[in-house]
Every structure is written in C-alpha cells, then in structure tokens.
C-alpha cells in the first residue's frame, strides 16, 4: 500500500514538473516568436531619406521668405543710413557754435536725441530680422514635415529619415570634431531611397497654387517711434 501511494506521488510530481517545463517553454517561445515577427515587420518596412538642407535651399516658399527678409533688412538699413547722415550734419552744426553757448547746448540735445533714435532703430532692426529668420525656419520645417507625411502616405513609405551623412564634417579641434561625429546617425544611405528631389518638386508645384503664393506675401515693416537717448526697443 505504501509503495502504491509512493508511486502515485512520484507520478504526480513528474506531471507537475512536466507542466512547469511546458509553461517555461511557452514563456521562452512567445518572446522569440514576437521578436521574429517584429524583425520581419521591420525588414518589410519601406524607408525613405531626405537631404533637409537641400530641401530648404530649393523650395520656393522658403526662398520667398528669405527674399522678404532681405527686403525688410534693406529698408531698415536705408533708414539707419539716413539717420547716420543726419547725425553727421548735427555734429557739424554742433562744432560750428560757440562753445558753451545756448545754441551749442540746444544742438547737443538734438544730437543726443538723434543718436538715441539710431541706437533704438539698430536694436529694433536686429530683433526684427532675427525673429523673421527664426519664423521662416520654423514655418519651412513644419511645411516640409507635413509634405513629407503626405508624400509617404501616398507613395507607401513607413519611415522618412534625415540623411545626416551628406553634409561634410567641418574641420575643427578634436573635441568639436567628436561632437560632430557623435551627432551623426547615418554612415550610409542608399541613393535609391532618397526622395529629396521628388519632395522638392511636390512642394514647388504646390507653391505655384494661389494658396501657396498667398502664404508667402512679404510682411510690412514697422519702424519704432522716436525714443529718448539710450533707450532700447524690440520688434
């Protein structure tokens, strides 16, 4: 009787061990199956690459924004040159008066006011141009990002990545060189995966539409009001 009980116990223990082994095998096999499925899915994914710098330099919408910035910059430069010429005239007038006279004192006040206005204009111009440049870069990036999404969905790309292997590594010291290299993610990208030219063509075609042309209208320039000498204003 004891031997029968022992045999039954041993059989039960063997079944328990087998069950544990099967559960362990399933636990090991499932991640392997999932990993294999993920690997196959990744291998089947279609990946495109773009040269972002080339896109920026080639799309008409960004060029139009740069032209608008140049126009504003030229206008502000002309205003500054006009004020500088006026200051030179005031300096000559100041020197022509008797030192210490009321006329020279009044001329000095006018000269100080003119210098203050010029400084205000210079501060305003720098802030204005930097703001416009930053906005142009941001708008162009968002435009390219949206166009890339639409292009990828139409052409069946799963991923579109920036090919950072294209720009040259600039000569510099060892620390800066290492930083440049560390920032790179691509060592090589097959040219057949590059969609840069197609994306540029798509964006430039869309820019020719009335909606695209309207979005690139040049902004108007607002110059600062006259301020006391030494005061600084921002755009």
Model pLDDT, residue 168? 83
Q: Which residue has the higher pLDDT, 223 or 121?
A: 121
Measured between alpha carbons, how far is residue 211 from residues 67, 133, 192 in Å? 19, 22, 32
Instruction: Return mean pLDDT, the chain.
Output: 79
Q: Looking at the predicted structure, is the pLDDT value of residue 1 above 80? A: no
Model pLDDT, residue 205? 94
The tokens for 233 are 């204003």
Angle at 124 between CA 90 and CA 114, to 5 degrees: 10
Measured between alpha carbons, how far is residue 94 from residues 81, 82, 86, 189 in Å? 20, 18, 12, 67
Distance, in Å, from the CA atom of 135 to the CA atom of 62, rounded to the nearest integer, reads: 11
Mean pLDDT to the nearest integer, 76-88: 95
Distance, in Å, from the CA atom of 74 to the CA atom of 221, rounded to the nearest integer, reads: 11
> What pTM was estimated for this model as a whole?
0.65
- Name the band, by pLDDT with cuts 50, 70 and 90, for residue 79: very high
- Name the band, by pLDDT with cuts 50, 70 and 90, for residue 194: very high
The total number of residues written for the chain in this structure: 235
Model pLDDT, residue 10? 46
Q: Domain limits of the chain?
A: 1-44, 47-215
Distance, in Å, from the CA atom of 2 to the CA atom of 48, rounded to the nearest integer, reads: 74
């Amino acid at each position: 009787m004891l031997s029968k009980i022992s045999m039954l116990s041993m059989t039960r223990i063997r079944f328990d061990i087998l069950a544990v082994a099967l559960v362990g095998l399933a636990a090991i096999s499932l991640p392997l199956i999932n990993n294999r499925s993920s690997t196959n899915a990744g291998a089947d994914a279609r990946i495109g690459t773009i040269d972002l710098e080339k896109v920026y330099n080639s799309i008409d919408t960004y060029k139009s924004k740069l032209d608008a910035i140049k126009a504003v910059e030229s206008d502000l430069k002309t205003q500054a040159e006009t004020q500088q010429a006026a200051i030179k005239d005031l300096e000559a007038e100041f020197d022509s008066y008797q030192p210490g006279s009321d006329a020279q004192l009044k001329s000095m006040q006018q000269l100080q006011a003119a210098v203050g206005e010029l400084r205000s204009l210079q501060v305003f111009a720098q802030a204005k141009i930097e703001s416009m440049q930053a906005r142009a870069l941001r708008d162009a990036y968002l435009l390219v990002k949206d166009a890339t999404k639409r292009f990828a969905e139409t052409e069946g790309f799963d991923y579109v990545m920036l090919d950072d292997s294209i720009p040259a590594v600039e000569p510099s010291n060892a620390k800066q060189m290492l930083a440049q290299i560390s920032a790179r993610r691509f060592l090589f990208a097959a040219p057949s995966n590059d969609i840069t030219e197609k994306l540029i063509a798509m964006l430039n075609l869309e820019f020719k539409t009335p909606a695209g042309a309207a979005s690139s209208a040049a902004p108007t320039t607002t110059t600062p009001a006259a301020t006391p000498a030494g005061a600084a204003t921002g755009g």
